[in-house]
Amino acid sequence: MKILQISPYFPPHLGGVEYHVKGLADGLTKRGYQVSVASSCGRCKTEFIRVPSIDLFYAPLPLKRIRLEADIYHSHIPSPLFAFMLRKASPQVVTYHNDVVVPVRLNGFTFPRWFGTSLEWLNRRLVQPVLDEAEIVVATTKSYAETSPVLRNYLHKIRIVPNAVDVSVYPQRRGEGKENYVLYVGRLLNYKGVDSLLSAMSEVQKRADLRLVLVGDGYDRRSLEEQAARMRVKAYFTGRLERKRLIDILSRAEMLVLPTSNRLEAFGIVLLEAMACETPVLAFDTPGVNEVAMEGGRVFSSTAELADSILELHENESLRMFLGRRGRRAVEEKYSWSRVLDEIESVYNEIA
């Protein structure tokens, strides 16, 4: 069976969707499928079709229409222009990774609300015919699908297939080798909620000797560094790290925090990575993310609640170990690539 994966971006371009698509391509190839990938950028071991594109606000615009033959077409959105181009291809599976919500401030620019609203409207107009034509729509969690203003009209053909990680590459440290720091991993952008994490840590550090380590980069890094300095938060900004170093830092952290309250964060693959290391997680209580976080940690709804939760975990090693073991078990049982590939194969067999 020939599978065509259609993704706006592909590794080494950074992003959760990109690495999910790579995991699917690699895993399905190992299972004997003939897999091709069509994207605006990237490279892979399987057949790769690079489509010349212009990058517009995280939505690459294809400059020419591609005609490719496959037994199953599997598109990934948001950034719907690639999926829209191939919406008539059949049979089609569409993985809807998250809603598009344009932040007021992005990449150093402040946008008027009418501009964001217009882009969100345009996105819905492009996504609707794609989802109308698809035989099956995949969402990564049930709660996100049920609360999405877009997906609520397609619940009858939605299947739930979560994201995954390769559990074998993450060490289990448990109580041994853990160090006294709180960890954030992700882009340093305004909508990610890092400012609220800094505010919480300013209160935490009045009562506990607990550092903050932030891994990643982005347009708002300088302003966040300045905020940390103003608030006298002991925060270490590492920038981007190579994979081996990142996994080591994940495994040594007392806990990982995902503070994003925006629906652009629909799952949080970094939660799975931390849980695989038996590192407990704290995440803002949003649909999708909360389902994952509760498997190996806690959720919070305010800066004050986040500060209290950080202190509670810091002061209770047995609780951290309990949540860490539970998180690792959840990754092994629900979020391994073996399990997710089984579920994707089931979807493909349903429409083949």
3: exposed, middle or buried (Cβ count in 10 Å: 0-12, 13-18, 19+): buried
Please indicate, yes or no, whether residues 107 and 60 belong to a single structural domain of this protein: yes
Q: Which residue has the higher pLDDT, 304 or 111?
A: 304
Cα distances (Å, whole numbers) of residue 196 to 152, 201, 281, 285: 30, 9, 16, 14
Domain CATH for 237: 3.40.50.2000
3-state SS, residue 352 = coil
pLDDT bin (cut points 50, 70, 90) of residue 114 is confident
- With cut-offs at 50, 70 and 90, classify the pLDDT of residue 342: very high
Please list, in sequence order, all residues whose beta carbon lies within 8 angstroms of the beta carbon of residue 177, skipping any fewer than 6 positions away: 251, 252
Residue 92 has pLDDT above 70, yes or no: yes
Confidence (pLDDT) at 175: 61
Is there a single domain that holds both residue 13 and residue 146?
yes
* 156 plus 198 within the same structural domain: no
pLDDT exceeds 70 at position 174: no
Query: Are residue 157 and residue 182 in the same domain, yes or no?
Result: no
Q: Is 254 within 8 Å of 320 (Cβ atoms)?
A: yes
Q: Are both 343 and 328 inside the same structural domain?
A: no
Same domain, 175 and 36: no
Full domain range(s) for residue 108: 2-164+336-351
The predicted structure's pLDDT at residue 177: 76
**Nearest CA-CA partner of 300 in 351, 253, 260, 335:** 260
Q: Is the pLDDT of residue 108 over 70?
A: no
**Span 140-161, average pLDDT:** 96
Same domain (yes/no): 180, 144: no
* 275-327 pLDDT, tens digit each: 999 999 999 999 999 999 999 999 999 999 999 999 999 999 999 999 999 99
Tens of pLDDT, residues 15-70: 889 999 999 999 999 999 999 999 988 888 888 988 888 887 677 888 877 778 89
Contact 351, 91 (CB under 8 A): yes
Residues 193, 152 within the same domain? no
Phi/psi of residue 260, nearest 5 degrees:
-70, 130
Please state the pTM of the whole predicted model: 0.92
Indicate whether 114 and 191 sit together in one domain: no
pLDDT of residue 328: 96
Averaged confidence pLDDT in the chain: 92
How does pLDDT run across 219-270, given as a tens digit for each residue?
999 999 999 999 999 999 999 999 999 999 999 999 999 999 999 899 999 9
The pLDDT, as a whole number, for residue 107 is 63
Q: Assess whether 137 and 239 both reside in one domain.
A: no
**What pLDDT score was predicted for residue 45?**
81
Q: What pLDDT is recorded for position 109?
A: 67
Q: Rounded mean pLDDT of 182-202? A: 95
Same domain, 236 and 104: no
Distance CA 253, CA 277 (A): 9
**Amino acid residing at 73:** Y
For residue 73, give the 3-state DSSP assignment.
strand
Nearest CA-CA partner of 269 in 138, 341, 163, 192: 163
When divided into structural domains, the chain yields a total of 2
pLDDT score for 12: 86
Whether residue 29 is found in the same domain as residue 147 = yes
Whole-number pLDDT of residue 106: 67
